[in-house]
């Protein structure tokens, strides 16, 4: 009796503030705390780039070029005398925009294709599986280089690359779970009551399988940030003078013998962001879905 | 085993065929005409029309697709736009450089990853295990090209311990190996983490098995049990992972080759893009994809050889 009494308030609290309880669980893990702090920092610098940046990220001042960190330029200046901190802050916008936008798009396409493969006729399933496997067998950057050669370097090409790389993985997972769910009792019951295919998929299958895939997608965010920065580093993604972490790295790489600070300023935000999202994703997975551990 | 091998090879061939189909439809669907891409912005409409008919772009789609696949299967990937040399020859010249680097990266990953995973499994829950765990996640997360640039900055530009550019003098093995250290570390670093995590997980699983308990009951030394009995089974998933890993390493080698100015497939494709050498790009992508599929088939065959249960479950 006393045991029940001690459990009840905790359960009630969790039910009234589900988000807060989850947050507390995440913050209890050192890795989760560190990850969340980094992600909040990056989000804040992207959102408040206008207020935080002291200089125009594209303003050229040749007399100030190759400066090391100082009180006027906290991260130094690049080969054109542009303030690196301002460029890094504005670069966060591009990185997060591409990462979140293209992950959401891939997730949507992956879910639709996965449901089609899992719930559709067998020939469609076999065909889609082959296509997924074939798409996964292109080395990522090679595929990216082909797309960029054909479509030209731009942010749209970067999104296209991300979609082609991540959709097959998401679709395969959704497909497997849809097949498992297809013969579940509540689905059979809904079908016997005359529910249509769309309704069954939307109301009876999707809500049951969407949790794990969202967590997996959140763990892919750092990969996507790496793809965007990598392509921009090669001069095949975001076009200069738009500040992106990849283009800053490219500037720094070209001038690496004159100044180390440009490379350091371009690489640091990439490292911090990928670490932040990865640590947060790992903790999210452990807290919400321990079954996924080890993926 | 024979039936399994045949079925796995057949699936591999089908996947390569579908990959060709996807590549072909990408070329066909993405706006941007290969002929005008190859000729550049100053081409006249007549020049484009001439090249289009020479490249067979005016034929019906199915004819084009058939020509593309049938000549690719025969090893004819077309000729390079600038020098007129066969694409396959050019790609095959550069492939050994990339493969040497990927092999070197795998060596890094295996030599460091497997012992770290074993140590973490043995010290499960302890301080060492946690440190290895966090470090593994960290090296997996950070993109390889950032590692490459930072390694270049630290070891080549500032400390000047290792060469910054090139593949070393030809014929001089020592200088070639020195030139391999940094790029292969940049490509392989993340895989040390992957392998350490995987070995840890499968080692923990294996240590629960009956024959390990028996070995313990016989009083064999723990180190002997781990490295001779448990690791033999715990290593299996790593073979599969390395099969997949080679594809990813081919990707990261593009960055490593550009950062360290090494010859190789990645640098070849990257330069082909800036000169709009379009057949070279598709050719190199096809060769690397086929190579990747082949390696995966091989990995599956090795696993099938080692573990009869896998053979039975494949259909």
B126 and B35 part of one domain: no
* Within-domain flag for A9: no
User: For position A6, what pLDDT does the model report?
Assistant: 45
Residues of B with Cβ-Cβ distance to A152 under 8 angstroms = 32
Q: Which of A134, A148, A151 sits opposite B31 (nearest CB)?
A: A151
pLDDT score for A112: 94
Q: Residue B149 and residue A149: Cβ atoms within 8 Å?
A: no
Q: Say whether both B114 and B255 belong to one domain.
A: yes
List CB contacts (< 8 A) between A146 and chain B.
23, 26, 281-282, 285
| Shared domain check, B211 and B251 | yes
Q: Considering the domain boundaries, does residue A3 fall inside one?
A: no
3-state class of B69 per DSSP? helix
Domain containing B60 equals 2-73
Of B27, B251, B269, the CB nearest to A150: B27
Whose tokens are 């301080």? That residue is: B127
The total domain count for chain A is 1
Task: Measure the CA–CA gap between B244 and B216, rounded to whole angstroms.
Answer: 35
Examine the domain organization and report whether B120 and B41 are in the same domain.
Answer: no
Domain annotation covers residue B187: yes
Residue ranges for chain A with pLDDT beneath 50 = 1-14, 294-295
Contacts of A147 in chain B (CB under 8 A): 26, 30
Mark whether B57 and B180 lie in a shared domain.
no
Strand partners, B86: B79
Any chain B CB within 8 A of the CB of A268?
no
Are B193 and B217 within one domain?
yes
Q: Which pair of structure tokens corresponds to residue B17?
A: 């065929």
A92 in reach of chain B (CB within 8 A): no
CATH of the domain at A151: 1.10.3720.10
Q: Inform me whether the C-beta atom of residue A35 falls under 8 Å from chain B C-beta atoms.
A: no
What local confidence, expressed as pLDDT, does residue B105 receive? 92
Q: What residue in A sits closest to B273 (Cα-Cα)?
A: A149
Distance CA B264, CA A141 (A): 14
Same domain as B109, residue B198: yes
Angstrom distance (rounded) from CA B203 to CA B291: 30
Check whether residue B69 and residue B218 sit in a common domain.
no
B160 & B16 share domain? no
Residue A6 neighbours by CB under 8 Å, 6+ apart: none
A92-127 pLDDT per residue, tens: 888 898 899 999 999 999 999 999 998 888 899 999
Give a yes or no: residue B241 inside a domain. yes
* Structural domain range at position A136: 21-57+77-292
Residues of A in contact with B19 (CB under 8 A): 134-135, 137-138
Can you give the three-state secondary structure of chain A, one letter per residue? CHHHHHHHHHHHHHHHCHHHHHHHHHHHCHHHHHHHHHHHHHHHHHHCHHHHCCCCCCCCCHHHCCCCCCCCCCCCECCCCCEHHHHHHHHHHHHHHHHHHHHHHHHHHHHHHHHHHHHCCHHHHHHHHHHHHHHHCCCHHHHHHHHHHHHCCCHHHHHHHHHHHHHHHHHHHHHHHHHHHHCCHHHHHHHHCCCCHHHHHHHHHHHHHHHHHHHHHHHHHHHHHHHHHHHHHCCCCCCCCCCCHHHHHHHHHHCCCCCCHHHHHHHHHHHHHHHHHHHHHHHHHHHHCHHHCCC
| Start-to-end C-alpha separation, chain B | 13
Considering CB atoms only, which of A31, A134, A271 is closest to B142? A271
Residue A113 falls within a domain, yes or no? Answer: yes
Partner residue facing A230 (CB), from B31, B143, B289: B143
Residues of B within 8 A of A98 (CB-CB) are: none
C-beta atoms of A142 and B254 within 8 A: yes
Residue with tokens 């913050």: A27
B117 in the same domain as B51: no
Average pLDDT value over all residues in chain B: 82
* DSSP helix/strand/coil, B260: coil
- Check which CATH number belongs to the domain holding B184 and give it: 1.10.3720.10
Say which of B258, B281, B292 has its CB closest to residue A139: B292
- Binding-face residues of A in 116-155 toward B, CB within 8 A: 130-131, 133-135, 137-143, 145-152
Q: What is the pLDDT of residue A77?
A: 76
Predicted local distance difference test score (pLDDT) of residue B205:
86
Determine whether the interchain pair A150/B22 forms a contact, defined as Cβ–Cβ distance below 8 Å.
no
Q: Is residue B83 part of a domain?
A: no
Residue A204 lies in a domain: yes
Is residue B77 predicted with pLDDT exceeding 60?
yes
pLDDT in tens, B228-240: 888 878 888 888 8
Query: Is A1 within a domain?
Result: no
Each residue of B154-186: pLDDT tens digit?
887 777 777 767 766 777 777 777 788 888 888
Residue B78 domain-assigned?
A: no
Domain identity same for B167 and B263? yes
pLDDT at A45: 86
Shared-domain flag, residues B48 and B95? no
How many structural domains is chain B composed of?
2
Distance to chain A for B105, nearest Cα, Å:
16
Q: What does pTM read for this prediction?
A: 0.82
Give yes or no for A69 touching B (CB within 8 A). no
């Amino acid at each position: 009796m006393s045991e029940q009494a001690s459990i009840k308030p905790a359960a009630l609290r969790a039910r009234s503030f589900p988000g807060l309880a989850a947050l507390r669980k995440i913050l209890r893990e050192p890795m989760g705390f560190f990850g969340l702090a980094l992600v909040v920092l990056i989000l804040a610098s992207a959102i408040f780039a206008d207020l935080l940046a002291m200089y125009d990220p594209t303003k050229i001042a040749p007399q100030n070029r190759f400066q090391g960190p100082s009180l006027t330029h906290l991260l130094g200046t690049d080969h054109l005398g542009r303030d690196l901190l301002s460029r890094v802050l504005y670069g966060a916008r591009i990185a997060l925009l591409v990462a979140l936008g293209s992950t959401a798009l891939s997730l949507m396409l992956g879910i639709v294709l996965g449901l089609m493969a899992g719930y559709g006729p067998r020939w469609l399933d076999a065909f889609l599986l082959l296509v997924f496997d074939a798409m996964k067998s292109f080395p990522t950057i090679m595929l990216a280089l082909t797309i960029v050669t054909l479509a030209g370097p731009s942010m749209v090409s970067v999104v296209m690359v991300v979609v082609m790389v991540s959709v097959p993985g998401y679709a395969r997972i959704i497909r497997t779970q849809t097949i498992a769910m297809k013969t579940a009792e509540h689905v059979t019951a809904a079908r016997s009551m005359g529910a249509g295919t769309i309704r069954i998929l939307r109301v009876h299958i999707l809500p049951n399988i969407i949790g794990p895939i969202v967590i997996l997608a959140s763990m892919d965010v750092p990969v996507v940030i790496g793809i965007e920065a990598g392509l921009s580093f090669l001069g095949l993604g975001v076009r200069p003078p738009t500040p992106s972490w990849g283009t800053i790295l490219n500037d720094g790489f070209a001038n690496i013998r004159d100044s180390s600070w440009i490379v350091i300023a371009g690489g640091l935000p990439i490292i911090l962001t990928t670490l932040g999202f990865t640590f947060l994703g790992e903790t999210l997975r452990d807290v919400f879905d321990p079954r996924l551990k080890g993926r | 085993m024979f039936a399994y091998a045949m079925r796995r090879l057949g699936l591999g061939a089908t996947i390569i065929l579908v990959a060709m189909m996807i590549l072909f439809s990408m070329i066909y669907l993405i706006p941007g005409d290969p002929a005008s891409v190859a000729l550049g912005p100053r081409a006249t409409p007549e020049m484009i029309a001439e090249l289009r008919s020479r490249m067979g772009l005016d034929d019906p789609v199915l004819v084009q697709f058939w020509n593309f696949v049938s000549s690719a299967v025969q090893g004819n990937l077309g000729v390079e736009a600038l020098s007129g040399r066969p694409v396959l020859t050019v790609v095959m010249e550069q492939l050994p450089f990339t493969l040497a680097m990927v092999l070197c990266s795998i060596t890094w990953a295996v030599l460091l990853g497997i012992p770290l995973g074993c140590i973490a499994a043995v010290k499960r829950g302890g301080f060492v295990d946690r440190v290895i765990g966090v470090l593994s996640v960290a090296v997996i997360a950070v993109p390889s090209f950032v590692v490459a640039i930072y390694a270049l900055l630290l070891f080549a530009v500032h400390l000047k311990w290792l060469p910054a550019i090139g593949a070393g003098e030809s014929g001089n093995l020592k200088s070639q190996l020195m030139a391999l250290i940094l790029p292969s570390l940049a490509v392989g670093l993340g895989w040390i983490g992957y392998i350490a995590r995987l070995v840890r997980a499968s080692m923990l699983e294996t240590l629960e098995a009956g024959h390990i308990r028996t070995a313990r009951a016989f009083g064999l030394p723990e180190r002997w049990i781990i490295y001779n009995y448990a690791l033999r089974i715990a290593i299996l998933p790593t073979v599969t992972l390395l099969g997949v890993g080679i594809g990813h390493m081919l990707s990261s080698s593009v960055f490593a080759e550009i950062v360290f100015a090494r010859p190789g497939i990645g640098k070849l494709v990257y330069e082909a893009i800036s000169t709009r050498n379009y057949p070279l790009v598709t050719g190199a992508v096809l060769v690397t994809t086929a190579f990747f599929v082949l390696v995966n088939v091989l990995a599956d065959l090795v696993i099938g050889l080692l573990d009869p249960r896998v053979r039975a479950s494949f259909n």
